[in-house]
């Protein structure tokens, strides 16, 4: 009997969230998080919350913590700048917080508007008191996410995991002629 084919990193992320007792998952639509979003929506034990802006997800995570729940925010690096004011609530009130951030403005980026925030993401998060972890390779993602889950929900820290653009691939904008 051969070993089963390993799950893709996206499925490992979903399993890690589920295994850590996360019950609420919020997101602004993002293709890089599509697999996890689909799995959340299909799971009756989880509450999936689509957002119109990323800062709503920061507020949602704070509210979840006040209610005794665990919430995670899924977003793109381009949304990090939208969260600065709300991250001050996380820092000041010392809420546990976890964001999984798919990076843009890196490898094979074809949209130059994504590049400035892609360069600034780590700096912005760290300036707001968020510990930043990063996953570059598919085999490392689950371990980094599990580390972040422990930091956020057992040590009550604010943490963001940056998921390198190579993990989600480049955006195909069709024929570029």
**Structural domains in the chain?**
9-168 (3.40.50.970)
Token pair in block for residue 150? 């422990």
Q: In the prediction, which pLDDT does 175 show?
A: 43
Considering the entire predicted model, what is its pTM? 0.90
Phi, psi of 136 (to 5 degrees): -105, -30
Among the residue ranges 5-9, 39-43, 103-107, 125-129, the one predicted with the least confidence is 5-9
Between residues 63 and 105, the one the model is more confident about: 63
Asked whether residue 6 carries a pLDDT value surpassing 50, the answer given is no
Per-residue model confidence as pLDDT tens digits over 85-105: 999 999 999 999 999 999 876
pLDDT confidence bin for 46, thresholds 50/70/90 = very high
Question: Measured between alpha carbons, how far is 174 from 151 in angstroms, rounded to an integer?
Answer: 40
Question: Measured between alpha carbons, how far is 125 from 132 in angstroms, rounded to an integer?
Answer: 7
Residue owning tokens 């989880």? 46
Q: In the prediction, which pLDDT does 43 show?
A: 98
pLDDT confidence bin for 119, thresholds 50/70/90 = confident
Question: How far apart, in Å, do the first and last CA atoms of the chain sit?
Answer: 50
């Amino acid at each position: 009997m051969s070993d089963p084919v390993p799950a893709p990193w996206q499925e490992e992320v979903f399993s890690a969230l589920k295994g850590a007792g996360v019950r609420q998952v919020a997101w602004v639509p993002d293709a890089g998080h599509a697999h996890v979003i689909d799995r959340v929506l299909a799971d009756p034990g989880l509450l999936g919350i689509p957002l119109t802006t990323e800062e709503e997800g920061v507020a949602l995570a704070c509210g979840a913590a006040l209610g005794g729940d665990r919430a995670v925010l899924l977003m793109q690096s381009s949304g990090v700048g939208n969260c600065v004011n709300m991250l001050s609530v996380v820092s000041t009130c010392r809420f546990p917080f976890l964001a999984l951030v798919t990076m843009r403005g890196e490898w094979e980026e074809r949209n130059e508007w994504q590049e400035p925030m892609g360069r600034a993401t780590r700096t912005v998060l760290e300036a707001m008191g968020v510990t930043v972890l990063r996953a570059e390779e598919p085999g490392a993602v689950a371990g980094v996410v599990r580390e972040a889950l422990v930091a956020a929900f057992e040590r009550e820290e604010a943490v963001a995991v940056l998921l390198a653009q190579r993990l989600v691939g480049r955006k195909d904008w069709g024929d570029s002629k």
